Amino acid sequence: MQVNAHFTCLLLIVFLNAVISSAQIKMDLRDVSDDDAPIRISGTVTVDENNSPERILYTYRTKGSITNLSDKPILITAIRLSTDCLNAPPLQHEHEVDRFFGPEVLESGHAESLEPPLAGLGRPTINGVLQPDDPDCQIGPTATAEVTFVQFID
């Protein structure tokens, strides 16, 4: 009985350490492109916080897809990914896919994976002073994507 109690206590300590040492926020990726944009973007953005003394404390992972809504094949796409209202530095990432030298273009009606490289950021500071959460943020964590450029095959 005493061995079981020790095991349970050890398991509880390991579990609490994992909960305390990191946190995760998962947000749906909202497409804020113009209504007439030739592609649609969908997916999620996950922010992992590692409460350790490491330099990179926040890791952003985007997982989604883009779909060609036009009637023409697409050669290049550029997308702006952003996050806001987090207790972490906001993500501002420009993601471009150039299919010119690739084997395939993004054909009309087809979708492809949207998985830019992981982004890692440190604590938000100004002149070495840790910055608080945004007090004006009323909506909670958000992740958005916007089409900024599309090049069709001529």
pLDDT tens-place string over residues 44-66: 999 888 766 556 677 889 999 99
User: Can you name the CATH fold of 23-152?
Assistant: Immunoglobulin-like (2.60.40)
Phi, psi of 13 (to 5 degrees): -65, -45
Q: Are 40 and 64 in contact (CB under 8 A)?
A: no
Where do the structural domains in the chain lie, given as residue ranges? 23-152
Three-state SS annotation for 54-86: CCCCEEEEEEEEEEECCCCCEEEEEEEEEEECC
pLDDT tens-place string over residues 99-129: 988 889 999 999 999 998 877 766 666 676 7
